[in-house]
C-alpha cells in the first residue's frame, strides 16, 4: 500500500460539482471526518435535472454541519475569471474536480454543454492549478472511456483510444490534458474512472431512478439491448470512500533521466467488480420498490417492460478491474446491488410518497 503524503484535516479543499450527486456526498464525508478542514464548493446549479434535488443536497449539508466550514460559490468552472479569482482568494491545497456535464445519450443531442464544461471547464481548473500550485488534483473520469473494448474486466492498462460517445471522448481528453499538465508543470494529478454510480438522491437521468419514475407513473420502461447488458453498479458511499483514500496520496514528484519531471500522474478504476445483468437489476429494483411500498404489491411488472435494441453511444458491458486501487489503497467497493437499491428505494419512498 502507498503511504499517505497529504493530511486533509487542516487542508483547504476545493470540490467542484459540490451540489451534484457524488460531490455532495464527498463534502459530507470530508466535513464529518476532517473537523479542521475548510471545504470550498463550486456548482453552476444547471437544470440538466431537477434543481430542487441539488438544493436539497445542499440543505442536508447545512443541517448536518452548518456552513461554518463549507462555502458554496454558485458559478461555472467554464468561467475563467471566476476560477482564477477563486484560486487566488482561497489557494486550495487539494482540488477534487467533479463538475462535468454527464450522460452518454445527452451528449448526442447537446454536445455544446460537454465542450463547455468538460473541456473548457477542466482546462480552466488545470490552468489555475498551474498558477496557484496545489498538492493534489483529483478528477472524475468515467468507465465510458473504455468504449466497446472486448477485453473484460477493464484495466487502466488497456488502450482507450476508441470512444463511442462525445461524453467518453471528453473524459479521455481530461486524462490526456491532466497528463500533459503533470508533465509540464509537475502538478500531481489522479484520475478516477467511475463505474455507474447509484444511490439515494442520485441523478434522475440514471436508469434505476428513471425506471422508478416511469413505474410509479404506470409507464413502460425500456430495457436496452433486449436485456443483454451488464453494468458494474457502484454505490455512492463506496465511490466517495475511494475518492477520500486517493486524495490522501498524491503521485510522487521526481526527475527522469533527462532532468525533466516524470509526470506525477495516476489513473484508477472505482467499480464494484461485479457486473449485473440488466434484467436481474430490474428484478432486484422492483423487489425493493415493493418492499419500500413505493409500488403496490399487486403491480404487474411484465406489462410495464419493453425490450428494445441498443442505443447509440451505449456499450454492452462495463466491468472494473480494481486491482490497482486495492494494491495502492487497500480498498475495493463492496456494497451489494440489493443493499444499495434498498437504500435508494427507502429514500425514494420518503421523498416522493
**Which triple of cell numbers denotes residue 232?**
458494474
Selecting among 106, 146, 167, 265, the annotated active-site residue is: 167
Q: Would you give the end-to-end CA distance of the chain in angstroms?
A: 46
- CA–CA distances in Å: residue 194 to residues 232, 267, 303, 318, 334: 10, 11, 33, 11, 14
Q: Do residues 282 and 226 make contact, with C-beta atoms less than 8 angstroms apart?
A: no
**Which triple of cell numbers denotes residue 70?**
463549507
Backbone angles phi, psi at 243, to 5 degrees: -60, -45
Decide if 352 is catalytic. no
Cα 104 from Cα 91, distance rounded (Å) = 34
Q: Do residues 332 and 322 make contact, with C-beta atoms less than 8 angstroms apart?
A: yes
* Alpha helical stretches, state H, the chain: 21-33, 51-65, 80-90, 106-109, 111-114, 122-131, 166-185, 207-216, 236-247, 278-291, 323-329, 337-352
56-60 long-range contacts (CB < 8 A, ≥24 apart) are: 56/201, 57/19, 57/20, 57/21, 57/24, 57/201, 58/18, 58/19, 58/24, 60/24, 60/28
Backbone angles phi, psi at 247, to 5 degrees: -60, -30
The owner of cell 443531442 is: 109
Look at residue 41 and give its three-state secondary structure.
strand
Indicate which residues carry an active-site annotation.
Answer: 167
Amino acid at each position: 500500500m502507498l503511504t499517505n503524503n497529504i493530511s486533509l484535516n487542516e487542508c483547504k479543499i476545493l470540490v467542484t460539482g459540490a451540489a451534484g450527486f457524488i460531490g455532495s456526498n464527498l463534502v459530507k464525508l470530508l466535513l464529518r471526518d476532517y473537523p479542521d478542514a475548510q471545504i470550498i464548493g463550486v456548482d453552476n446549479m444547471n437544470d440538466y435535472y431537477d434543481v430542487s434535488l441539488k438544493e436539497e443536497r445542499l440543505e442536508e449539508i447545512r443541517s448536518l454541519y452548518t456552513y461554518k466550514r463549507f462555502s458554496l460559490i454558485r458559478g461555472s468552472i467554464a468561467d475563467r475569471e471566476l476560477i482564477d479569482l477563486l484560486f487566488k482568494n482561497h489557494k486550495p491545497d487539494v482540488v477534487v474536480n467533479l463538475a462535468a456535464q454527464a450522460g452518454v445519450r445527452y451528449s448526442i443531442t447537446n454536445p455544446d454543454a460537454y465542450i463547455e464544461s468538460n473541456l473548457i471547464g477542466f482546462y480552466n481548473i488545470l490552468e489555475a492549478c498551474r498558477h496557484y500550485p496545489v498538492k493534489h488534483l483529483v478528477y472524475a473520469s468515467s468507465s465510458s472511456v473504455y468504449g466497446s473494448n472486448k477485453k473484460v474486466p477493464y484495466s487502466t492498462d488497456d488502450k482507450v483510444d476508441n470512444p463511442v460517445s462525445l461524453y467518453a471522448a471528453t473524459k479521455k481528453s481530461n486524462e490526456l490534458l491532466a497528463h500533459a499538465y503533470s508533465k509540464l508543470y509537475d502538478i500531481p494529478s489522479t484520475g478516477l474512472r467511475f463505474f455507474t454510480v447509484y444511490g439515494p438522491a442520485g441523478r434522475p437521468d440514471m436508469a434505476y431512478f428513471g425506471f422508478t419514475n416511469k413505474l410509479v407513473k404506470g409507464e413502460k420502461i425500456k430495457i436496452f439491448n433486449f436485456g443483454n447488458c451488464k453494468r458494474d453498479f457502484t454505490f455512492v458511499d463506496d465511490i466517495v470512500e475511494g475518492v477520500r483514500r486517493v486524495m490522501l496520496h498524491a503521485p510522487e514528484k521526481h526527475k527522469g533521466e533527462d532532468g525533466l519531471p516524470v509526470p506525477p500522474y495516476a489513473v484508477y478504476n472505482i467499480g464494484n467488480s461485479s457486473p449485473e445483468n440488466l434484467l436481474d437489476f430490474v428484478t432486484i429494483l422492483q423487489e425493493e420498490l415493493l418492499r419500500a411500498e413505493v409500488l403496490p404489491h399487486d403491480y404487474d411488472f411484465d406489462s410495464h417492460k419493453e425490450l428494445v435494441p441498443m442505443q447509440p453511444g451505449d456499450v454492452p458491458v462495463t466491468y472494473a478491474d480494481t486491482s490497482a486501487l486495492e494494491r495502492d489503497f487497500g480498498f475495493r467497493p463492496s456494497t451489494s446491488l440489493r443493499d444499495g437499491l434498498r437504500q435508494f428505494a427507502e429514500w425514494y419512498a420518503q421523498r416522493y410518497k
